[in-house]
Amino acid sequence: MFLHMGKNFLITGANGHLGSVIVEKLAKEGNNIAAVVRTPTGKLVFDNVQHFVADLTDDDQAKKLVDDVYAEFKTIDGVVLTAGGFAMGNLETTGKSQLEQMFAVNFYTAYYLVRHLLAKAMQQPNGSRFIFFGARTALDHGAAKNSIAYAFSKALLFQLSGLVNEIGKGSNIVSCIIVPSIIDTQENRNSMPNSDPSKWVSKEDIASMVSFLCFETGNPIRDSSIKMYGNI
């Protein structure tokens, strides 16, 4: 792939509602994107977007992905981890398999990548930026009681983001966690037809925040969680 002059990003969940908007924004700004998908769809065709296929719940696939992206890009300046999933469930209905499923899709998908990526990113003279996606549910017990496995799995990402900051201290590694309430996606509009989407947070606003955090504008920021709750 011909590399543009911009920064190099690895973005997971690149097919998703939010991930696809972030890929498009950063690609249009002239950056090079490793767009990681689990299921190839052929969407998001730009000459500075290269697709990589991996099931990130698999440690070996995560390692191969990191090796493949580094072979192609040489450095990764921003890691944007949007891969994730949601499930309802209270104490009665949430057992081992429900917990494992949510831990896999929300935590393992981020943890395995970080595990294989961080040491390489720390070798880069300019370090790297890591952006995780938590959820308001992880910080709000009222909401968490009806989506217990989701809430616990997202809560772990706050710890992971903090750990990345701690390990990467002194190597210009900066990690942030963005905490959306409800994102205005077609899926959410379909599943909550009686809610007012104007109160939700837009994908475009989140994509702008990612861009802000990953460029010089974000340089003074350290170890932050950014609540993007819209007007909820």
Taking the alpha carbons of 148, 151, 153, 155 in that order, is the dihedral positive or negative? negative
- Minimum CB separation of residue 168 from ligand NAP in Å reads 21
Encoded one letter per residue, x for contact with ligand NAP by CB under 6 A and - for no contact, window 63-102 reads -------------------xxxxx----------------
Kindly report the number of other CB atoms within 10 A of residue 170's CB atom.
8
What does the DSSP 8-state code read for residue 8?
E
Amino acid in the structure at residue 76: I
Token reading at 127: 């370090």
Q: How far apart are CA 232 and CA 225, in angstroms?
A: 18
**Could you tell me the strand order of the sheet in which 128-133 lies?**
49-53, 32-37, 8-12, 78-81, 128-133, 173-180, 224-228
Selected binder of ligand NAP within 182, 209, 213, 214 (CB under 6 A): 182
Whose Cβ is closer to ligand NAP: residue 83's or residue 174's? 83
Encoded one letter per residue, x for contact with ligand NAP by CB under 6 A and - for no contact, window 126-155 reads -------x-x--------------------
Of 16-35, binders to ligand NAP (CB under 6 A) are 16-19
Q: How many residues bind ligand NAP (CB under 6 A)?
A: 27
- Minimum CB separation of residue 196 from ligand NAP in Å reads 14
Enclosing H/E stretch for 175: strand 173-180
Selected binder of ligand NAP within 31, 32, 48, 57 (CB under 6 A): 57
Binding site for ligand NAP (CB under 6 A): 12-13, 15-19, 37-39, 55-57, 82-86, 105, 109, 133, 135, 180, 182-183, 185, 188
